[in-house]
Structures are given as C-alpha cells and as structure tokens.
Amino acid sequence: MLAFERILCIRLDNIGDVVMSSPAIRALKETFQAHTTLLTSSMAAPVAGSIPEIDETIIFDVPWVQQPNSEHDLLQMAALLEEKRFDLAVIFTVYSQNPLPAAMLAYLAHIPIRLAYCRENPYQLLTHWIPEQEPYQFIRHQVRRDLDLVANIGADTTSETLSLSINEDRWQHIRELLLHYGADPFKPWIILHPGVSDAKRQYPLEEWIKTGRLLKEQLQLPLLITGNLQEREQAQELQEAIGDGCYNIAGELDIEDFIVLLRHSRLVISVNTGTVHLAAAMQTPVIVLYALTNPQHTPWKVPSSVLYFDVPEALRSRNEVVRYVYDLCKQEQYPLASPENILQQAKDLSQFAETLLN
C-alpha cells in the first residue's frame, strides 16, 4: 500500500467546491495519517479553517480561473510548493475542467505522485491518470466523484457526510445582530440566499419577491436575507419588496458566523451556490433553486428539495462539455422553481425540521 507524509490537495474554485471535496480530503487524512495542505483560491480559503482535516492552507488565484496572475507568479508558487516537499498531489476538478494546468504546477514543484481525472493522455504530468468518463458515460455527484478519485490510491473514510467545525461562541454576536435588526433569535426563521458568484445561476428578483411574500403569508416565519457585502444592495431591494418580517443581514457575517447561523436555522432557500453545501454540512434542510448548469452539485445527504430553472441563452456556457449536459437536462421533466412549488416544499421541509427538533 502507498504511504504519504505530506499531501497537497488542489481545489482551485469556490467555497462549495472545497466543502464537497472535504469527505475525500478526510479519506486521505484518515487513511494515510498525513499532513494535509489545501491549495485553493482566495474565494474559497475562508472555509478551509472550518474543515478539521485541513492542516494548512495555501492561497493562490490561478490564471485559468479568471484571476489576474502572471507566469512569474506561477513559477514562484511552484518553487514554494517544492520547498514544502509534498509527496502526493491530488487535483480535484469537475468533469468540464482540464486538470493539466494544475498538474503542470505540481510537476514543476517536483511532487512525485500526481493524481487526477483527465480526458486526454497527460503523459508525464500525471503519475496516476484516471481516464475521465463523465459526463458522456455517467454523471456522479461531485462528492462521490472526489471520493472515487482518492479511492484509486487506497484512501477511504468511515464517514462520507459533509461536516464543518463550528464555534458556538459566535452565537452571542449573531443573537445581538438579529436583535439589532428587530428579529427574534429565539424563534425559528427561514434563510433566503439569492446571491450568486455566476450570473447564469441567478434566480429572477421578481420571483424571489413573490416567493418571500408567499412564505411570509403562509408560514408566518421571519425571513433572513443573507449574502456578502457586494450583494447587500440587491438584498435590500428584496427585503423592502417583501416588507415586515423580512430582515436584510447581507454583509454582516463572516464565514464562521454564517455557518453557526445556518446551524440554528429552520430552513435554507438558496440558489445553487456554496450556501447549499454549508447548510448540508450543518444538516439544515435546504431548498435549492437550481439553474440547469452542473447537475452533480445538489445537496449531499441532507433533507432537501431541488427545483430547477433555465439559463438564459446569452449566459449559457461555451464549454462543449457543459453544453452537452445542458442539452441532456433540457430533455428531463424536472420540477420547476416556481414560487408556488417553493412554498410547498418549504411547508414540507419546515414541518420535517420541526419534527426533528421536537
């Protein structure tokens, strides 16, 4: 059996991607008892501190994920990674991504074992090449894909769930914040999370407004609108349109606060973004308003409902792999993300959550 002392996990995307890779990182940690480092983007790095299996985080915004870096930055990073003396690099990707730029970085860092899925023959860039079969032969959930990847070198785990460490000391600050905005922190609430990092996953604002009004009228539970600071203006517009009983706290919480808030929430309603996977890690029921983009990113092992909406033609990906999957999804009869359907799912999941709490 292979043995490793210093493992580099490369996951260069966003918060949700890192959270979905965490069971595979746990498998590496449990199997090899190695020091585990995550190489990730500045967007995803804040969540790394809440993943117990990650010992160290290196932040690097690579140029192949729309970040402004130069070849000099790449060579500097390769030198830094070489200094760390990793003996294994695992490159986590979605099936539409090419792992070879990251593999080249690991190759330049002289990491002796390099593992990834790849559609084309990587020759020397990967020592452990797993031929890419998705999406043309099958599509797996991203968590399963990542677990299957590390299983190729003998890594497994006793727990395949998403899990994050939480700091309940943050609850006092959150409670004071909710009181400041006029919300009662001792009564159940529903989170609405409309913000996205990718415009193609944006659910229309007018539909959010209809949904919020229906939820408030039918369930009579407070609604908390969350998001980052850049999303606060949109959140304010939504809050004002829904009216009393709806509170805009976008931009008020860091990632640790947000995780604790999710843990205390009755239900989360979100577009398909990192919030969905944070909620799943907290075992908080979630409704996802899911753009027809990456069907492998639905909630993992948590009470949930997935409702779908189309992507405007002008925003559809030019990536032929993504377009192939989009055409497949269009042929399916998925439940639609209408305000009425959201309300019905919210009733069902809210009652389920109340039963669990009781």
State the angle between helix axes of 171-181 and 255-263 in degrees (0 to 180), rounded to the nearest 10: 80
Residue-wise pLDDT for 283-294, tens only, equals 999 999 999 888
pLDDT for the residue numbered 129: 99
Q: Tens digits of per-residue pLDDT, 291-308?
A: 988 889 999 999 999 999
Q: What average pLDDT is seen over the chain?
A: 94
Asked whether the predicted pLDDT for residue 69 surpasses 80, the reply is: no
State both tokens at 309: 């909406």
Q: Per-residue pLDDT averaged across 5-30, rounded?
A: 98
Q: Which two tokens stand for residue 36?
A: 């585990």
Provide the percentage of residues in the chain whose pLDDT is more than 70: 96
Edge-first strand order for the sheet with 190-193 is 246-248, 223-225, 190-193, 267-271, 286-291, 304-309
Query: With bands split at pLDDT 50, 70 and 90, how would you rate the model's confidence at 357?
Result: low
Distance (Å, rounded) from C-alpha 46 to C-alpha 114? 26
CB 161 within 8 A of CB 23: yes
Domains, the chain, ordered by start: 6-151 (3.40.50.2000), 168-357 (3.40.50.2000)
pLDDT at site 68: 59
Range with lowest mean pLDDT among 62-71, 102-111, 227-236 = 62-71
* Rounded distance between C-alpha atoms, residue 94 and residue 98, angstroms: 9
Six token digits for residue 159:
């727990």
